[in-house]
Chains A and B, each alone.
Chain A
Amino acid sequence: MTEISQLLESCASSVTEWRAHPGAAPLPRIDPASTAECAEILRLARTERRRVLPAGTGRRLASLATLPRADFVLGTRELRGVLDYESADGTLTARTGSSMAELATTVAAGGHHLGPAVARPAEGTLGGVVATAESGRDRLRNGPVRHMVLGAQVLLADGTGARSGGKLVKNVTGYDLHKLYCGSWGSLAFVTELSLRLFPAPERRAMLCARPRDRATALAAAGAVLALPLRPETVLLERDAEGAWGLFIVCAGRDVVVERELERVEAELQRSERIEDAARLDRVRDDDAPETLHLQLSALPGTADALAGAILQASEETEVHGSLRLHPGIATATFAPIEKSAERLAAFHRSLLANLDVQRTGTAWRWCGADAELSRLVALAGPAPAAGPRALMERLRNALDPDRLFAGAVPGIDTIAD
């Protein structure tokens, strides 16, 4: 038994072994059953100067090239449950270890939709989704996850509890520290509770599928649909590794509204297939497992054409082929290469940056499931997305965690050292 495990054995909860992915080194993991016990463990860790990695399922941590250096994982697996579901007000407060699937089921019974509609809700916890700022297939209509969080309860590195925001859809009382925690990847605090605003559950969801013959046709068709005065839930363009295109538009809402929207889109596309089978509708989820190699990009609205063009040109120039998924309405893209050679992928990355006006398009990117070598080569290939004043971010981190107890590392701003 390791020294850490011996340390943690003094706590009430049992210690398990956790790996970010099958090939990763194991870490001791403890999942306390109460916030009080979490606080006690944090105080112990601080006394013993041990680094703590907060985690839900840890699913998204598998996307990192190198796991942050930590002595143990403090998990939220046992911090589950709905604390307050205000159906009449459209808000939900829950413990952060609750699975998104369970929460979605709870609020669906009350006629609500839980955003974000993430790819694998049964595998994701509320805390993990917010900590990694994971958005969902409903982002075009409902926005990013950071716009859904109303308040948070956290434990700081010294075990102190602190709250910000509240449970109301509109609230300007105090500093919105929960905005800071969203996307902080466990680097600032251990989040124990979150309050979210909810959305009306759609009465009906249906998809139109078209097969554009080429990139120009695909982008034009998607653009034409987006220009309609409709509010589709998802507009997705796919290009598989063989070059075949697919356009998928999901309409969701009141039955009569969905029917009319489908008619308008069908008229625009001229040739399309209607799909209402739930299983087939699910294909619009961005389903890449965090540990599989893929490039995620996001850019400003209206720049999707430039984004797609740059990706495909880089693919052609470097002969690194793969599948592309593009959400043109929100200008996010995922490229999953067939190629696995770090050098060739780095060449692709260089070509991509050369073909893209990063500043004008506001593009940010992240290689998920990359190994250390690819991460190193990509870093050499060009500057990382502009992240804003690092010194200020460091001061904020120092303010909340002066001893650097929390091992979470934010992609794009942290250099993760073994």
Chain B
Amino acid sequence: MDSLDRALAAIVGDGGVIAGPRLVPYESDGLAMLQERPRSVVLPSSTEQASKVMALLAHEGIPVVARGAGTGLAGGATPVSGGVVVGTARMREVLEIRVAERLARVQAGVVNSELTRRVAPHGLFYAPDPSSQAACTIGGNVANNSGGPHCFKYGSTARHLLGAVVVAHDGEVLDLSAPHADPVGYDLCGLFAGSEGMFGLVTEVTVGLTPKPEVVETWLAVFATLDGACEAVSETIAARLDPAALEILDRLTIEAVEDSVFAAGYPTNAEAVLLVELEGSTVEVDALAGELRAILEHNGAIELRSARDDAERKRLWAGRKGAFGAMGRIAPDLFVADAVVPRSKLRELVAAAVEICRERNLRLANVFHAGDGNLHPNICYDRRDADEVARVLEAGDLILRTCVEAGGSLSGEHGVGLEKRDAMCFLFDDDDLATMQRVRTAWDPERRLNPGKLLPVRACLETRTARPLPTPAGIQTDGSRT
């Protein structure tokens, strides 16, 4: 340990500082293509410790990258050269559950699914349910404004965020935690959600909880075409129906899932399946079911299964939520794209992604939150094949541009991070980005928190002129090649 590490250890204890070879797991988040070894990793266990850590790092002028579980997929938790990763892995306490007020106060490192498990006996659940919910943290969810399949009905994290305790760049503790029905003054929590670790380190979160619905029905609609499944979703939205979740998996994804430990009984001869969840009162679900069934059949559903019991329902969802992990059965690497598009254009944009990959001889597996228009065109590849990597990156870029040109946006839930930083210029001009930078600087005047992420480091004109591509060996955090 060097002197800085010893100083950090004096705050968090020896077990809270990681250095040397043990840093390897922290070199990237879920976007393994981008890697950087941090100077060290420090794991405070309380707001007080986090405050002292941040104050020390500020004094030393050290860049900081916050990290929850490292499940992010956009490089938001990729370390920066010479920087320290501050992780929330030791802040895992559920501090308070207030059933009557339907809220919970937790440390930022509490795992998403653990919170739901803890409040379930009270007839409540925590609605945002990213696919990584068995691992991702509430703090990370706040930083990314995470969603998940059920955010179609219940909204993303920001809609459930009542308060937070944030440690600022210099160690100051910003108490945004007094929960109110509405913010008093500016909506700082609303602004903070989705700030990707650039405004501060969240250490405690107060979230709203949702009552469990009276009835839940889970369907699996089987389609002979991916187009049919997409059109069914578009028609459902146009009809202003509101199921709780609408998820599509295509044939390649189904094959991977059924060949894995997440096997859910999806028919492997289907071109696509649509996983539907209906929630609400008995009468609401009954009314919705009739209309939805008609739409599914109208768009070519060849079979409609309804989960017979809770076990089957869980199995169907395990298949969906394990889909990304299951891809390891079919390819050594997976480029997980994330774009969001108008629901009225699902079919054409999914078809465009399919064609873009076909033209480049790439295998594409689609699994996505169709109800929100949040696409995940996942491109299979092998990072040891440099040519394939180049084609994958080109395809990913083109899919993103196509989605944006059709009225979409860069990210539905994974965030911008490092991966799409320069693509911000597809959507925003220099004035838009400069305004965001101004707001960021109000939180972090030195811009030491997660530097080089989200906002392009060069003016949009320069970005459009020369955009570096990462290589399998990794890229520098300023975007240049290694």
Q: Do chains A and B interact in one complex?
A: yes
Chain A residues with CB under 8 Å of chain B are 86-90, 111-112, 133, 135, 143-144, 146-147, 156, 160-164, 166-177, 179-180, 182-184, 188, 200-201, 228-231, 253-254, 256-257, 260-261, 298-303, 330-332, 359, 362-364, 384-390, 392-393, 395-396, 398-400, 410, 412-413
CB of A162 within 8 A of CB of B431, answer yes
CB of B240 within 8 A of CB of A172, answer no
| Interface CB pairs A-B, < 8 A, 5 | A162-B431, A170-B413, A229-B213, A302-B99, A387-B184
CB of B442 within 8 A of CB of A364, answer no
Interface-located stretch among B175-183, B250-258, B303-311, B312-320: B175-183
CB of A171 within 8 A of CB of B284, answer no
CB of A388 within 8 A of CB of B287, answer no
Q: How far is the CA of A385 from the CA of B411 in the complex (A)?
A: 36
Q: How far is the CA of A176 from the CA of B411 in the complex (A)?
A: 13
Ordered nearest first, which 9 A-B pairs have the shortest CB separation? A179-B190, A229-B214, A302-B100, A200-B240, A88-B344, A162-B435, A260-B283, A170-B372, A399-B442
> Least Cβ distance of A154 to chain B in Å?
8
Known: A176-B191, A180-B187. A170 touches B156 (CB 8 A): yes
Chain B residues with CB under 8 Å of chain A are 98-103, 144-145, 147, 151, 155-156, 158-159, 162, 168, 174-176, 178-188, 190-191, 193-195, 208, 211, 213-215, 234, 237-238, 240-242, 280-284, 287, 340-344, 369, 372-374, 407-416, 424, 427-428, 431-436, 438-443, 454-455
Residues of A within 8 A of B185 (CB): 183, 387-388, 390, 393, 410, 412-413
Which chain A residue shows the least CB distance to B281?
A229
Which chain B residue shows the least CB distance to A303?
B101
> Least Cβ distance of A201 to chain B in Å?
7
CB of A172 within 8 A of CB of B156, answer yes
Residues of A within 8 A of B342 (CB): 86, 88-89, 167-168
Q: How far is the CA of A396 from the CA of B168 in the complex (A)?
A: 14
Known: A176-B158, A256-B287, A364-B181. A171 touches B409 (CB 8 A): yes
CB of A392 within 8 A of CB of B439, answer no
Of the candidates A133, A175, A184, A201, the one whose C-beta lies within 8 Å of that of B240 is A201
Q: How far is the CA of A162 from the CA of B214 in the complex (A)?
A: 44
Residues of B within 8 A of A144 (CB): 181-182
Which chain B residue shows the least CB distance to A366?
B184
CB of A410 within 8 A of CB of B186, answer yes
Known: A89-B237, A171-B411, A389-B174. A412 touches B184 (CB 8 A): yes
Known: A160-B431, A396-B439. A173 touches B416 (CB 8 A): yes
CB of A180 within 8 A of CB of B191, answer yes
CB of B283 within 8 A of CB of A386, answer no
Known: A231-B281, A364-B181, A413-B185. A163 touches B442 (CB 8 A): no
Which chain A residue shows the least CB distance to B436?
A175
Q: How far is the CA of A256 from the CA of B184 in the complex (A)?
A: 40
Known: A170-B374, A171-B409, A385-B180. A230 touches B281 (CB 8 A): yes
Q: How far is the CA of A350 from the CA of B185 in the complex (A)?
A: 22
CB of A90 within 8 A of CB of B428, answer no
Residues of B within 8 A of A156 (CB): 435
Residues of A within 8 A of B238 (CB): 87-88
Which chain A residue shows the least CB distance to B423?
A173
CB of B413 within 8 A of CB of A386, answer no
Residues of B within 8 A of A173 (CB): 409-411, 416, 424, 427
Of the candidates B180, B214, B427, B431, the one whose C-beta lies within 8 Å of that of A364 is B180
CB of A299 within 8 A of CB of B181, answer yes
CB of B435 within 8 A of CB of A160, answer yes
Of the candidates B155, B158, B159, B179, the one whose C-beta lies within 8 Å of that of A362 is B179
CB of A393 within 8 A of CB of B373, answer no
Which chain A residue shows the least CB distance to B181?
A298
> Least Cβ distance of B206 to chain A in Å?
10
> Least Cβ distance of A207 to chain B in Å?
18
CB of B144 within 8 A of CB of A172, answer yes
Known: A90-B237, A231-B281. A169 touches B186 (CB 8 A): no
CB of B194 within 8 A of CB of A176, answer yes
Q: A168-B409, A389-B174 are in contact. List 10 more A-B contacts (CB 8 A).
A: A87-B238, A88-B343, A163-B432, A167-B342, A170-B156, A170-B412, A172-B416, A180-B439, A301-B181, A393-B188
